[in-house]
């Protein structure tokens, strides 16, 4: 179910045609003038914009560009409706930053298919982190809330890299990106092997990740993630730092400072017996656990002990 | 440009198009069978992959490609597997191209490579080198150049073999005459083109003259000596029946006394015996 803004004069102008879209569960708002519709679009963004070419000659390209450059609307799929003749002439697709085109003579079936496809594509990519291609915040939130709503005994792990800032300062962003990608791939592979389709990995951003796995897989995921990370991280460090066993850097006052080498910390919140009902509670518990696990030297994990009284204390 | 330089340029150019190399069919069938088994882990697949020089170099090529974003970092199969995961490994296996017929010489070279990997690992551990697994990998893929020539330049490969037989010269010598360049350099070019780490590239290209390997001289010297050792004990077939000459500077670098030599040889014997079980198993699969 999506909210579709239709900015056309002739195309899909008949009520019958629009009803076909409505029958698919979508809500359609019809506008006849792009410049005037813009206000509506910006104030109350739709899920998809279908735009007939030539409705606002002169400002059309500017409007498309400003929509695409708007951070909140960057992922809004825009379908451009064009006459076949114009394709023969050729359009500058760098200027027409749209997501797909539709022939003005397209059948209703084709329109529906294109709309569904554009929406599906947006769901696939909109939220993904560009560096790791992992699902981002809204997917993470949705997944965790889904677990809470289902009352399933699941573990939510919060993963981040210790001393990532000194690493970035020392080696530069592009090598920092390598380390983030490394952790992302380790997590995905470990979660996949331990939990298969029941597992989820998301990338909050920067060096922060979240995984969700069935309770019984949680410890294994933590142990293997740490083992693999500790095994690979030396490949991303330079020999002198490895030998020194720390980063040596100057702090803001110019004092010599030693930072421990990069490691990984994992805080695991356990949801059993419907303990939590809201995402915010999980995040709050995670923040407390994180403080404790961060205090440990080297890579470490901590499973919320208030419930996990079975099993040994974390290493 | 001399004729020979032109020839070398042509070979380098040709290498740019090398997308895949042939793998021994029985290894691929064994892996395919493993992939279908749900209980099999990526680690277990890795242990078989690291016994094949072509699959190993393909896996390293993949993980070091810009697509995965770790260029020139990953030098061992086990580390590559941690990063690529089961599904990617599976794809690699399924898409591996296969020799139509397994030739005697293919099996021989494969056994030689495996033997060299084993010997290099033993020597590396003896010397307390930090990452012995990496030197094993270098030993395993040190003759990559021979495989490329055999699959991409089959006519030249035949001429090299003829020369080896007719004039009783070492393979490298015949290569220099026919191609204007040896298999070490050819393998090194390919490895570099595939973004493999210098720690692997340099020993591959310099395994006949390890002192030219710059900061990786020690690694190259170990691979050099492992190559000679495995030839000397007669495990596998490196393309000609002669033991390559020992580079004396390299030997000075890694030399050890008689009693240590005895221990090393005993350890090598044991490990090669184990390997033989595996190579026999693979050859049986090939005959099925």
Quote the mean pLDDT of chain A.
88
For residue A52, give the nearest of A3, A103, A93, A89 by alpha carbon. Answer: A103
For residue range B2-39, list pLDDT tens digits in order. Answer: 668 888 999 999 888 887 788 888 898 899 899 888 89
Three-state SS at A137: helix
Residue A312, pLDDT > 60, answer no
Q: How many residues does chain B have?
A: 288
Three-state SS at A49: strand
Measured distance CA(A143)–CA(A67) in Å, rounded: 29
- Domain residues of chain B, as ranges? 3-18+104-286
- pLDDT attached to residue B1: 56
Tokens of A179: 């380390």
Which secondary structure element, helix H or strand E, spans residue A42, and what is its range?
helix A34-43
- Residue ranges of alpha helices (H) inside A97-251 are 108-125, 137-150, 164-171, 173-195, 218-232, 239-244
- pLDDT attached to residue A168: 92
- Interchain contact, A235 vs B87, CB within 8 Å: no
Alpha-carbon Rg of chain B, whole angstroms?
A: 18
For residue range A178-235, list pLDDT tens digits in order. Answer: 999 999 999 999 999 999 889 999 999 999 999 999 999 999 999 999 999 999 999 9
Instruction: From residue B16, give the alpha-carbon distance in Å to each of A246, A265, B193.
Output: 41, 43, 8
CB-based contact (8 Å) between B87 and chain A? yes
Question: If DSSP states are collapsed to H, E and C, what string results for chain B?
Answer: CCHHHHHHHHHHHHHCCCCCCCECHHHHHHHHHHHHCCCCCHHHHHHHHCCCHHHHHHHHHHHCCCCCCCCCCCCCHHHHHHHHHHHHHHHHHHCCCECCCCCHHHHHHHHHHHHHHHHHHHHHHHCCCCCHHHHHHHHHCCCHHHHHHHHHCHHHHHHHHHHHHHHCCCHHHHHHHHCCCCHHHHHHHHHHHCCCCHHHHHHHHCCCCHHHCHHHHHHHHHHHHHHHHHHHHCCCCCCCCCCCCCCHHHHHHHCCCHHHHHHHHHHHHHHHHHHHHHHHHHHHHHHC
Taking contacts as CB-CB distances below 8 angstroms, the residues of chain B near A220 are none
Left if phi > 0, otherwise alpha if psi is -120 to 50, otherwise beta: which for B165?
Answer: alpha
Three-state SS at A6: strand
Can you name the residues that pair with A101 across neighbouring β-strands?
A: A80
Mean pLDDT of A31-45: 81
Tokens of A250: 């100057």
Model ipTM over 0.95: no
Which sign does the torsion angle of CA B198, B199, B201, B205 carry?
A: positive
Find out whether B104 and B233 touch, Cβ atoms under 8 Å: no
DSSP class per residue in A219-234 = HHHHHHHHHHHHHHGG
CB-based contact (8 Å) between B41 and chain A? yes
Residue A50, pLDDT > 90, answer yes
Measured distance CA(B174)–CA(B177) in Å, rounded: 5
CATH number of B3-18+104-286: 1.10.3210.10
Three-state SS at A238: coil
- pLDDT attached to residue A307: 52
DSSP 8-class letter at A242: H
Residue A311, pLDDT > 70, answer no
Task: Give, in degrees to the nearest 5, the angle at Cα B265 between B264 and B266.
Answer: 90
- The nearest alpha carbon in chain B to A185 belongs to B83
CB-based contact (8 Å) between A193 and chain B? yes
CB-based contact (8 Å) between B74 and chain A? yes
Which secondary structure element, helix H or strand E, spans residue A257, and what is its range?
strand A256-260
Measured distance CA(A263)–CA(A237) in Å, rounded: 12
Measured distance CA(A294)–CA(B140) in Å, rounded: 41
Q: Is A177 exposed, middle or buried (0-12, 13-18, 19+ CB in 10 A)?
A: middle
Among A192, A235, A236, the residue with its CB nearest the CB of B86 is A192
Mean pLDDT of B169-188: 95
For residue range B217-269, list pLDDT tens digits in order. Answer: 999 999 999 999 999 999 999 988 889 999 999 999 999 999 999 999 999 99
Find out whether B21 and B148 touch, Cβ atoms under 8 Å: yes
Find out whether B227 and B142 touch, Cβ atoms under 8 Å: yes
DSSP 8-class letter at A168: H
Question: What does DSSP say about strands A208-214 and A48-52: parallel, antiparallel, or unpaired?
Answer: unpaired
Half-sphere exposure at residue A149, Cβ-oriented, CA atoms within 13 angstroms: 6
- pLDDT attached to residue B100: 63
For residue B214, give the nearest of B230, B203, B227, B224 by alpha carbon. Answer: B203
Q: How many residues does chain A have?
A: 315
Residue B105, pLDDT > 90, answer no
Lowest mean pLDDT among A143-157, A300-314, B107-121: A300-314
Q: Which long-range contacts (CB under 8 A, 24 or more apart) does B171-174 make?
A: B171/B146, B171/B238, B171/B239, B171/B240, B172/B208, B172/B244, B174/B240
Best probe of the A interface among B60, B66, B70, by most A CBs < 10 A, is: B70
CB-based contact (8 Å) between B68 and chain A? yes
Best probe of the B interface among A195, A232, A239, A264, by most B CBs < 10 A, is: A232
- pLDDT attached to residue A314: 46
- pLDDT attached to residue A309: 46
Chain A nearest-CA distance from B69, in A, is: 7
Task: Give, in degrees to the nearest 5, the angle at Cα A34 between A32 and A36.
Answer: 90
- pLDDT attached to residue B77: 96
Tokens of A75: 């992922």
Residue B200, pLDDT > 80, answer yes
- Interchain contact, A232 vs B41, CB within 8 Å: no
Instruction: From residue B207, give the alpha-carbon distance in Å to each of A312, A313, B154, B201, B240.
Output: 50, 50, 23, 10, 16
CB-based contact (8 Å) between A185 and chain B? yes
């Amino acid at each position: 179910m999506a909210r579709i803004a239709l900015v056309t004069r002739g195309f899909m102008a008949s009520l019958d045609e629009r009803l076909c879209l409505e029958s698919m569960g979508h809500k359609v708002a019809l506008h006849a003038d792009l410049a005037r519709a813009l206000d509506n679009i910006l104030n109350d963004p739709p899920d998809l914009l279908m735009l007939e070419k030539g409705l606002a000659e002169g400002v059309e390209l500017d409007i498309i560009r400003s929509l695409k450059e708007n951070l909140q609307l960057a992922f809004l799929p825009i379908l451009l409706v064009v006459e076949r003749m114009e394709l023969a002439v050729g359009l500058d697709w760098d200027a027409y930053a749209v997501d797909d085109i539709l022939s003005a003579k397209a059948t209703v079936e084709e329109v529906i298919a294109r709309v569904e496809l554009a929406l599906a594509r947006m769901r696939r990519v909109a939220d993904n982190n560009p560096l790791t291609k992992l699902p981002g915040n809204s997917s993470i939130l949705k997944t965790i809330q889904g677990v809470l709503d289902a009352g399933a005994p699941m573990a939510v792990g919060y993963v981040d890299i210790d001393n990532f800032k000194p690493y970035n300062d020392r080696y530069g962003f592009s090598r920092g990106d390598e380390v983030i990608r490394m952790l992302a791939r380790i997590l995905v592979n470990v979660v996949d092997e331990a939990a298969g389709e029941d597992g989820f990995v998301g990338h909050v951003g920067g060096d922060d990740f979240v995984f969700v796995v069935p309770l019984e897989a949680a410890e294994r995921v933590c142990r293997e993630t740490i083992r693999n990370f500790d095994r690979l991280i030396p490949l991303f460090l330079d020999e002198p730092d490895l030998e020194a066993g720390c980063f040596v850097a100057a702090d803001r006052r110019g004092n010599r400072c030693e930072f421990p080498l990069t490691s990984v910390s994992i805080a695991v919140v356990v949801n059993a017996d419907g303990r939590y009902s809201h995402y915010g509670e999980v995040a709050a518990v995670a923040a407390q656990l994180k403080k404790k696990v961060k205090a440990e030297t080297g890579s470490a994990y901590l499973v919320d002990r208030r419930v996990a009284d079975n099993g040994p204390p974390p290493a | 440009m001399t004729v020979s330089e032109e020839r070398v340029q042509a070979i380098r150019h040709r290498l740019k198009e090398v997308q895949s190399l042939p793998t021994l069919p029985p290894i691929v069938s064994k892996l395919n069978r493993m992939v279908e088994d749900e209980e099999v882990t990526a680690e277990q697949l890795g242990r078989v992959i690291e016994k094949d020089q072509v699959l190993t170099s393909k896996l390293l090529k993949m993980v070091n490609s810009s697509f995965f974003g770790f260029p020139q970092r990953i030098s061992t199969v086990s580390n590559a597997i941690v990063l690529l995961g089961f599904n990617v490994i599976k794809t690699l296996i399924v898409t591996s191209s296969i020799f139509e017929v397994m030739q005697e010489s293919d099996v021989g070279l494969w056994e030689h490579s495996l033997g060299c990997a084993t010997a290099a690992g033993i020597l590396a551990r003896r010397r307390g080198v930090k990452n012995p697994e990496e030197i094993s990998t270098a030993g395993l893929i040190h003759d990559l150049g021979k495989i490329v020539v055999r699959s991409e330049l089959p006519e030249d490969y035949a001429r090299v073999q003829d020369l080896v037989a007719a004039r009783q010269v070492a393979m490298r010598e015949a290569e220099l005459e026919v191609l204007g360049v040896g298999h070490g350099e050819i393998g090194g070019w390919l490895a570099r083109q595939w973004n493999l780490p210098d720690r692997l590239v340099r020993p591959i290209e310099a395994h006949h003259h390890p002192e030219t390997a710059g900061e990786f001289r020690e690694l190259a010297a170990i691979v050099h000596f492992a190559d000679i050792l495995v030839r000397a004990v007669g495990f596998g077939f490196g393309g000609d029946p002669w033991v390559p000459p020992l580079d004396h500077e390299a030997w000075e670098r890694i030399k050890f006394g008689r009693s240590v030599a005895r221990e090393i040889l005993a350890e090598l014997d044991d490990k090669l015996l184990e390997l033989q079980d595996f190579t026999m198993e693979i050859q049986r699969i090939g005959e099925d």
